[in-house]
Chains A and B, each alone.
Chain A
Amino acid sequence: DQQVKQNSPSLSVQEGRISILNCDYTNSMFDYFLWYKKYPAEGPTFLISISSIKDKNEDGRFTVFLNKSAKHLSLHIVPSQPGDSAVYFCAATRGNTGKLIFGQGTTLQVKP
């Protein structure tokens, strides 16, 4: 039972354009959501997070949107840069368990 799903395995965008990565979840008890970025042969690095009491969080070029009624979140990267090319994982957790449930990941390629 995949509680967090990233249905697009890959995404390709042109440099300077917007990248939109999507994530759906099924467990309404999740109250904190995170995005991680992963380069090959490295561990994931934290990118941005959002609490379930908010619907938007922004950090520089990265914005995460949360639609609780649809159980959907998205990561917007504007403008996209070639260095953003990586695998992006969304993750969710509830309460103070610290247990992150990850999606399968989306590989983003930003073309120069």
Chain B
Amino acid sequence: NAGVTQTPKFQVLKTGQSMTLQCAQDMNHNSMYWYRQDPGMGLRLIYYSASEGTTDKGEVPNGYNVSRLNKREFSLRLESAAPSQTSVYFCASSESRITEAFFGQGTRLTVV
């Protein structure tokens, strides 16, 4: 009964370092999403994948890349981390693009 699982839960990076945030869902959902949450900003969509093999940009895609490895997994990569990418990152999945999304517990990332 895991739902959406994100790893790691916490991470501190130095400016310029790279890392990949992992996300996996066990609900056989077609669509997956990456959001970031910043104070006073709500959640903003970074990238999404409507189905296996497809990805599309959201509101704030700059500085990020994604991979829809298979139906279960959707990873987010920061190639060269910047302090502006300090945020809480949430992965989500939904059965389709018109149904509600289920969120993971989040990854708190700090870039120093």
Whether B105 pairs with A42 at a CB distance below 8 angstroms is yes
Interface string of A80-112 (1 = CB under 8 A from B): 000000000101010011111111110000000
Question: Which B residues lie within 8 Å of A100 (CB)?
Answer: 33, 43, 45, 101
Binds A, one of B13-21, B71-79, B90-98: B90-98
CB of B42 within 8 A of chain A?
yes
Please tell me if the beta carbons of A97 and B97 are within 8 angstroms of each other in the complex.
yes
Shortest Cβ distance from A93 into chain B, in angstroms? 8
For A43, give its contact among B40, B50, B96, B103 (CB under 8 Å): B103
User: Which size bracket describes the interface of B in this complex?
Assistant: 20 to 34
Q: How many residues of A contact B (CB 8 A)?
A: 25
Q: A64 at interface (Cβ–Cβ under 8 A)?
A: no
A93 to B103 alpha-carbon distance, docked (Å): 17
* Chain A min CB distance to B104 (Å): 5
Q: A32 vs B38: C-alpha distance in the bound complex, in angstroms? A: 24
Instruction: Across the interface, name the chain A residue whose C-beta is closest to B50.
Output: A98
B 13-45 contacts with A by CB, 8 A: 31, 33, 35, 40-45
User: In this complex, what residue of A is CB-closest to B57?
Assistant: A99
Give the residues in chain A near B106, CB-CB below 8 Å.
41-43
Give A57 to B104 CA distance when docked, in angstroms. Answer: 26
Interface 1/0 per residue, B57-88 and A, CB below 8 Å:
01100000000000000000000000000000
Given A43-B4, A105-B42, are A98 and B96 also a contact pair (CB < 8 Å)?
A: yes
CB distance from B99 to the nearest CB of A (A): 9
Residues of A44-90 at the interface with B, using a CB-CB cut-off of 8 Å, are 44-46, 49, 89
